[in-house]
């Protein structure tokens, strides 16, 4: 499976502008089975959801559905969403047939006050697309290895983020750590540019189960990254070096799998 990911400078609080911009950028992206956008790709990482969040099925999600249908590829990224009078940082994985799998960010970033504006999700979500199992995660989730624990139930940890430049070393180290400890691919897609609070260098990367970087975006630039998921190679590594069989088991009892 081919994946393509986009690191770009999000226009602050302007969904229409970001939809146009992403559409233009993806028209030049390498062909892929899955395209991945950063956290809150349509607004930036806003702590004013009452101003910037969209309805449960708003303009950004509708664009994702249209894009997936037109290209025959899946597209994924998180959006600030208003649902039932509450706000969520909701990660959508959209397939060409219009199927949408959604994960609400579980670990809200208290340092920025995200927990005061958004509701935390309580379910781990795995999505299957073209035979590959993707575990969805958003930004701060990456710091919590038990939440990301692979019990042999996923192949790729897909993490979208708005991770500031001052903690970029942690971002890069955690991406590699999650790949190694979970014997999985990790695709971390971070934004570049600036918002009213932070600057972002991106450092988006695609890492294999050995911890090797297969593809990455140049720091501080708008750029594409692309790579290929090889399930035969992954299965061979897991079989020859069966680390996951010895891992501690954690039962959250709230995981869902969407085919």
What is the radius of gyration, based on Cα positions, of the chain? 17
Number of C-beta neighbours around residue 2 at 10 A: 15
Between CA 220 and CA 223 the distance in angstroms is 9
Closest CA to 159 of 169, 151, 144, 167: 144
Question: Which one of 139, 148, 184, 217 is the catalytic residue?
Answer: 139
For residues 88 and 99, is the Cβ–Cβ distance under 8 A?
Answer: no
For residues 80 and 57, is the Cβ–Cβ distance under 8 A?
Answer: no
Does residue 105 have an active-site annotation?
yes
What the block records as the tokens of 206 is 């695609």
Does residue 172 have an active-site annotation?
no
Does residue 39 have an active-site annotation?
yes
Question: Which one of 39, 54, 114, 216 is the catalytic residue?
Answer: 39
Between CA 227 and CA 187 the distance in angstroms is 10
Question: Which one of 54, 65, 95, 105 is the catalytic residue?
Answer: 105
Provide the annotated active-site residues.
39, 105, 139
């Amino acid at each position: 499976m081919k994946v393509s990911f986009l690191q770009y400078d999000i226009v602050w609080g302007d969904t229409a502008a970001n939809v146009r911009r992403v559409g233009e950028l993806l028209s030049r992206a390498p062909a892929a089975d899955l395209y991945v956008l950063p956290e809150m790709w349509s607004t930036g990482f806003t702590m004013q959801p009452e101003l910037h969040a969209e309805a449960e099925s708003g303009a950004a999600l509708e664009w994702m559905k249209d894009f997936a249908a037109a290209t025959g590829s899946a597209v994924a990224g998180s959006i600030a969403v208003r649902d039932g009078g509450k706000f969520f940082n909701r990660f959508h994985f959209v397939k060409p047939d219009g199927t949408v799998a959604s994960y609400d960010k579980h670990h809200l970033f208290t340092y920025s006050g995200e927990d005061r504006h958004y509701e935390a999700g309580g379910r781990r979500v795995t999505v299957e697309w073209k035979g590959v199992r993707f575990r969805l995660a958003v930004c701060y989730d990456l710091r919590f290895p038990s939440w990301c624990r692979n019990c042999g139930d996923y192949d790729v940890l897909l993490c979208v983020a708005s991770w500031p430049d001052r903690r970029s070393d942690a971002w890069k180290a955690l991406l590699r750590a999650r790949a190694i400890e979970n014997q999985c691919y990790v695709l971390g897609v971070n934004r570049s540019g600036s918002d009213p609070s932070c600057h972002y260098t991106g450092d988006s990367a695609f890492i294999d189960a050995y911890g090797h970087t297969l593809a990455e975006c140049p720091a501080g630039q708008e750029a594409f990254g692309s790579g290929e998921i090889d399930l035969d190679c992954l299965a061979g590594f897991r079989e020859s070096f069966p680390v996951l069989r010895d891992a501690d088991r954690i039962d959250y009892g709230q995981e869902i799998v969407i085919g």
